[in-house]
């Protein structure tokens, strides 16, 4: 067996020890005589897995007691609609900050349901930075303000948490969930698809302040209604059982092997610094995202020519560094270095890039 260094933006790497543990429990989970994949979600055994996962998520992410943690399906993209359907319940106004493709998609979706405004955008610079907003930019009676905290495609991250006063701040944290400590009390709702940093594809985690729940229009589909899902402990219908179990293993890995989110952050900062330091000094490669908005998770970079980019991506893949091709709207390269990417993976990538640079300059 020879595992590659996988820089995919998502679905992406999972920690090797998590995969091994899942493999060892594949045929029989504990003494249940069955795989987690085969269990009823109403069984005692799975009920414990679900409860333990939530408890661990709350502990590791330091979720305040007045927030619900929901384990849902439909991906982050379903939340683009679920958020306005649940939260546009007062003035039916909402403000969106457009810092990339996912916030733009969320904005477009929300426009179907209310009076939704883009209060800032970095589109004119192809989203190479995160726009700054202040409290004065916000619609005073908005039902919520929406941001995408880490912009997976462009390799940028909010360097600040917008100050929205009493107006709930909603953040898509799909590509930075559990990558570092987050003060959840500054947000009304944070959510993300699990396939970037937390579990295999199929699970979406929503963390929502309790007072924001239960005011949705009655025509909202039941599976999108946070009240229905919260009242049923995320089991109104069949949850993504196996993904929840994998999420539990990842949380145990963060807690017991990494040593918690402060340690996770240190590790992630170290990896990002190795790559950005190299890019800042390279004669061949250039970083794309502006310095103050750089992501710790997704690092975008280019050379001067499309041919050189393609040559690099192909030779890197041959050397065992896969999925480095950038998203089509940015071009060039993107190295996604989520939690599960070991420091050694980034060190070896940079070694390879140095060698490639020496041969091609
Ligand atoms: C991947 C991603 C999405 C889309 O997630 P799906 O689960 O495919 O709907 C949305 N937002 C961000 C920030 C992402 O990285």
- Domain spans in the chain, listed from the N-terminal domain onward: 17-257, 260-360
Ligand 1, atom 2: closest residue by C-alpha: 174
Can you give the three-state secondary structure of the chain, one letter per residue?
Answer: CCCCEECCCCCCCCCHHHHHHHHHCCCCCCCCCCCHHHCCCCCHHHHHHHHHHHHHHHHHHCCCCCEEEEEECCHHHHHHHHHHHHHCCCCCEEEEEECCHHHHHHHHHHCCCCEEEEEEECHHHCCCCCCCCCHHHCCCCCCEEEEECEECCCCEECCCCCCCCCCCEEEECCCCCCCCCCCHHHCCEEEEECCCCCCCCCCEEEEEEHHHCCCCCCCCCHHHCHHHHHHCCCCCCCCCHHHHHHHHHHHHHHHHHHCCHHHHHHHHHHHHHHHHHHHHHCCCCEECCCHHHECCCEEEEECCCHHHHHHHHHHHHHCCEECCECCCCCCCEEEECCCCCCHHHHHHHHHHHHHHHHHHC
Q: How far, in Å, from the CA of 174 to the mean position of ligand 1?
A: 6
Give the pLDDT confidence of 68-78 residue by residue, as tens digits. Answer: 999 999 999 99
Q: Cis peptide leading into 11, omega within 30 of 0?
A: yes
Q: Is the pLDDT of residue 1 over 80?
A: no
Ligand 1, atom 13: closest residue by C-alpha: 174
Q: Which of 75, 54, 67, 14 is nearest to 211 (CA)?
A: 67
Q: How far, in Å, from the CA of 148 to the mean position of ligand 1?
A: 10
Q: How far, in Å, from the CA of 312 to the mean position of ligand 1?
A: 26
Beta strand pairing status for 298-302 and 144-148?
unpaired
Give the pLDDT confidence of 95-114 residue by residue, as tens digits. Answer: 999 999 999 999 999 999 99
Give the pLDDT confidence of 128-153 residue by residue, as tens digits. Answer: 999 999 999 999 999 999 999 999 99
Q: How does 187-221 read in b/e, with b if 16+ C-beta sit within 10 Å?
A: bbbbbbbbbbbbbbebbbbbbbbeebbeebeeebe
Q: State the Cα–Cα distance between residues 296 and 300, nearest whole angstrom.
A: 11
Q: How far, in Å, from the CA of 335 to the mean position of ligand 1?
A: 17
Provide the pLDDT for residue 2: 87
Q: Is the pLDDT of residue 195 over 90?
A: yes
Give the pLDDT confidence of 2-50 residue by residue, as tens digits. Answer: 899 999 999 999 999 999 999 999 999 999 999 999 999 999 999 999 9
43 Cβ neighbours under 8 A, 6+ residues apart: none
Q: State the Cα–Cα distance between residues 41 and 235, nearest whole angstrom.
A: 8
Residue among 9, 110, 192 whose CB has most ligand 1 atoms within 8 A, to mutate:
192
Residue 175 alpha carbon, nearest atom of ligand 1: 15
The ligand 1 site (C-beta within 6 Å) comprises 10, 75-77, 102, 148, 152, 172, 174-175, 193, 196
Q: Is the pLDDT of residue 311 over 90?
A: yes
Residue 148 alpha carbon, nearest atom of ligand 1: 13
Q: What is the mean pLDDT of residues 48-76?
A: 98
Q: Per-residue confidence at 288, pLDDT binned at 50, 70, 90?
A: very high
Q: Per-residue confidence at 157, pLDDT binned at 50, 70, 90?
A: very high
The CATH topology of domain 260-360 is: 3.90.1150
Q: How does 58-91 read in b/e, with b if 16+ C-beta sit within 10 Å?
A: bebbebeeebbbbbbebbbebbbbbbbbbbbbee
pLDDT, the chain, mean:
98
Residue 75 alpha carbon, nearest atom of ligand 1: 7
67 Cβ neighbours under 8 A, 6+ residues apart: 184, 207, 208, 209, 210
Query: Whole-model pTM?
Result: 0.98
Q: What is the mean pLDDT of residues 291-305?
A: 98
Q: How far, in Å, from the CA of 193 to the mean position of ligand 1?
A: 6
Q: Per-residue confidence at 218, pLDDT binned at 50, 70, 90?
A: confident
**260-360 shares the fold of 17-257:** no
Provide the pLDDT for residue 233: 97
Provide the pLDDT for residue 350: 98
Q: State the Cα–Cα distance between residues 95 and 143, nearest whole angstrom.
A: 8
Ligand 1, atom 7: closest residue by C-alpha: 75
Provide the pLDDT for residue 61: 98
The CATH topology of domain 17-257 is: 3.40.640
Q: How far, in Å, from the CA of 281 to the mean position of ligand 1?
A: 32
Q: How far, in Å, from the CA of 267 to the mean position of ligand 1?
A: 23
Q: How far, in Å, from the CA of 214 to the mean position of ligand 1?
A: 25
Residue among 75, 193, 201, 296 whose CB has most ligand 1 atoms within 8 A, to mutate:
193
Residue 149 alpha carbon, nearest atom of ligand 1: 13
Residue among 99, 104, 174 whose CB has most ligand 1 atoms within 8 A, to mutate:
174
Q: How far, in Å, from the CA of 172 to the mean position of ligand 1?
A: 8
């Amino acid at each position: 067996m020879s595992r590659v260094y996988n820089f995919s933006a998502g679905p992406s790497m999972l920690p090797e020890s998590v995969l091994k543990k899942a493999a060892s429990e594949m045929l029989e989970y504990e003494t249940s005589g069955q795989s987690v994949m085969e269990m009823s979600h109403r069984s005692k055994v799975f009920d414990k897995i679900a409860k333990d996962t939530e408890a661990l998520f709350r502990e590791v992410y330091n979720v305040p007691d007045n927030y619900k943690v929901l384990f849902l399906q439909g991906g982050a993209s379903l939340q683009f609609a679920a958020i306005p359907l649940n939260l546009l319940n007062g003035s039916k106004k909402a403000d969106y900050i457009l810092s990339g493709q996912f916030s733009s998609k969320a904005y477009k979706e929300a426009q179907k349901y209310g009076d939704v405004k883009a209060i800032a955008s970095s589109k004119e610079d192809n989203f190479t930075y995160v726009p700054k907003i202040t409290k004065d930019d916000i619609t005073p009676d908005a039902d919520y303000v929406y941001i995408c905290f880490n912009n997976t495609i462009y390799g940028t991250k909010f360097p600040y948490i917008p100050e929205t006063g009493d107006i709930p701040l909603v953040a898509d944290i799909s590509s930075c969930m559990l990558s570092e400590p987050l003060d959840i009390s500054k947000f009304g709702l944070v959510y993300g698809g699990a396939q970037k940093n937390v579990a295999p594809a199929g699970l979406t985690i929503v963390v929502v302040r309790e007072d924001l729940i239960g005011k949705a229009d009655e025509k909202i589909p039941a599976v999108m209604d946070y009240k229905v899902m919260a009242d049923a402990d995320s089991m109104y219908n069949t949850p993504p059982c196996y993904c929840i179990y994998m999420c539990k293993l990842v949380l145990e890995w963060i807690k017991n092997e990494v040593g918690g989110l402060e340690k996770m952050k240190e590790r992630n900062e170290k990896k990002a610094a190795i790559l950005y330091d190299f890019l800042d000094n390279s004669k061949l490669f250039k970083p794309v995202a502006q310095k103050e908005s750089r992501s710790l998770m997704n690092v975008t970079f280019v050379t001067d020519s499309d041919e050189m980019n393609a040559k690099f991506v192909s030779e890197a893949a041959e050397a065992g560094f896969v999925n480095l091709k950038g998203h089509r709207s940015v071009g060039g390269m993107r190295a996604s270095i989520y939690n599960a990417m070991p420091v050694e993976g980034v060190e070896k990538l940079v070694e390879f890039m140095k060698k490639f640079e020496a041969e091609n300059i």
